[in-house]
Chains A and B, each alone.
Chain A
Amino acid sequence: QKEVEQDPGPLSVPEGAIVSLNCTYSNSAFQYFMWYRQYSRKGPELLMYTYSSGNKEDGRFTAQVDKSSKYISLFIRDSQPSDSATYLCAMSDYLEETSGSRLTFGEGTQLTVNP
């Protein structure tokens, strides 16, 4: 079983729709949760970063974390064609033995927003 599960899609929505992207995880040690956006042939771009359960909002983006259910979501309001990309969830724990952390990624959801 993968530590992080993410539906790869593809997901196609009309412009202006609300998009919901989700990930589930199995490792209860994960404390930090991120969403990245990756355009074709580019590196992941950090969208949201959170370390607590609840909601965090930034413009048209809302990140939701439910640690009890091991479930995170990203909502995109008023979606635009420029939002068409692959969205990656990522999470990490703090490793005492190395005083550091490493990210574990989902496989990414490919989103297309149609004009």
Chain B
Amino acid sequence: NAGVMQNPRHLVRRRGQEARLRCSPMKGHSHVYWYRQLPEEGLKFMVYLQKENIIDESGMPKERFSAEFPKEGPSILRIQQVVRGDSAAYFCASSTAPNQPQHFGDGTRLSIL
């Protein structure tokens, strides 16, 4: 009974490159959330998706960041032209429905050189 799976666990990119972070929700979960944890800061909401739909992207930076959750396959958080300030731990969570408990993966730690 696998939990939320995120890969890669660690990702190193140079400034200007693209980063792709993947998240497979728990079995039976169709709601996916992305959060970012900056060093010495708490977890901050970024985006909420259901299959093929972005429901709430109020926490996403306006530029360079995008997310998708296709009909088949994992959810993807994409960061284009990465900068040093993007270095953080990115966590994905999933739930069975809105306002049901969200269960988290172990995150992807993104480092920008």
Contact = CB atoms under 8 A, between A and B. Distances in A.
A104 B48 CA distance: 13
A31 B93 CA distance: 19
B91 A102 contact: no
Given A43-B91, A43-B105, A100-B31, A105 B43 contact: yes
B21 to A, nearest CB: 13
B102 A103 contact: yes
Interface residues of B, number: 27
Interface SS of chain B: strand
Contacts of B45: 102-104
B42 A107 contact: yes
B99 interface: yes
B10 to A, nearest CB: 10
Contacts of B31: 100
A44 B98 contact: no
Interface string B23-60: 00000000101010000011111001000000110110
A106 B98 contact: no
A45 B99 CA distance: 17
Interface in B47-103: 48, 55-56, 58-59, 91, 93, 98-99, 101-103
The 6 closest A-B pairs by CB, nearest first: A43-B104, A102-B45, A107-B42, A100-B98, A105-B43, A43-B106
